[in-house]
Copies of this chain bind each other. A is one copy, B any other.
Amino acid sequence: MAETVGFIGLGIMGKPMAHNLLKAGYPLIVHNRSKAAVTELVEAGASAASSPAEVARRARIVITMLPDSPDVRSVALGENGVLAGAGPGSVLIDMSTIAPAVTREIATAASLKGVKTLDAPVSGSEQGAINATLAIMVGGDEDVFERCRPVLSALGRSVVRVGGVGMGHTVKLVNQIIGLATLEAVCEGLIVASKAGVDVSTLLEAIRGGAARSWMLENLSPLIAQRDFRPGFMVRLAQKDLRLALALAEELQVSVPSAALTNQLFRAVEASGQGSAGIQALAIALERLAGYQISREGSTSKS
């Protein structure tokens, strides 16, 4: 019989992930600050718990999927937190994107109670969570990883152990440096092309076969040209991820100038009230700098 799994954090990502665990046949205990998502999961077959501690008392594998480091820290270590309820041999899997240093702090506290930890952040946004096609980067001990691999495989297509505790989050932050700075490069190209009068779809047709090709170019350029800023992944979370990545780079004494620039531009977009827009709204920061707005067919319109 499948092991009971606990799930804390039923947001844009967490809710469809919890549904996928039910579909895969895992008995599921859920907890969430807002109650609507809990009700939905209970109707689908899950059982509700009133606190993270209660989740941990009822499930030996507990997953957290929360916005930022302080949230995970408080759900894991706080009063009525996961470690207050977890017994020896339990596993706490954090799938949020948080600072590796907080991950290590939680791992240390957990080990004092005989609780194992994995950090298993994901890439692939809401669509990947719904379709169970996430890329999952796992840090932790090999045996704990093997024990939890079936659970993770119900959530993603690519489940790769990248090293010990904290390395999952390290790799996720590297992923964000590369991906988000690539998006910034795409936005720069689009604004030059548009102001020079190049049609965006013609541009894509001409260059997508070459060395400038990227996921960001193919997937987000059309949205930018159509001014469709609905979120697949939000500006405020991208800004937070780059802030964590910059802190990691500082800790490692490595300079990452494009990541720093991209973080500043995301911050500008967030400060202008568009923190809940999709990351393709990064283009707005460059448009403001140029006093020019990108259009689908290329033009000379002022923003």
Contact A192/B249 with A123-B210, A212-B123, A258-B185 known, Cβ cut-off 8 Å? yes
CA distance A190 to B216 in the complex (A): 18
Contact A193/B206 with A177-B185, A212-B182, A255-B289 known, Cβ cut-off 8 Å? no
> Could you list 30 examples of A-B contacts with CB < 8 Å?
A123-B207, A123-B209, A123-B210, A124-B210, A135-B207, A162-B198, A162-B202, A162-B206, A163-B199, A167-B198, A170-B196, A170-B198, A174-B192, A176-B212, A177-B188, A179-B210, A181-B182, A181-B184, A181-B185, A182-B212, A185-B259, A195-B254, A211-B216, A212-B215, A213-B215, A214-B214, A253-B290, A254-B290, A258-B261, A258-B262
The interface on chain A, measured as residues whose beta carbon lies within 8 A of the other chain's beta carbons, has a size of 70
CA distance A259 to B204 in the complex (A): 19
A190 neighbours in B (Cβ, 8 Å) = 174
Which B residue's beta carbon lies closest to that of A193? B174
CA distance A188 to B242 in the complex (A): 12
CA distance A206 to B214 in the complex (A): 16
CA distance A184 to B216 in the complex (A): 15
Is the CB of A86 closer than 8 A to any CB of chain B?
no
> Is A215 a contact of B211 with CB atoms below 8 Å?
yes
> Is A192 a contact of B123 with CB atoms below 8 Å?
no
Is the CB of A191 closer than 8 A to any CB of chain B?
yes
Is the CB of A281 closer than 8 A to any CB of chain B?
no
Is the CB of A115 closer than 8 A to any CB of chain B?
no
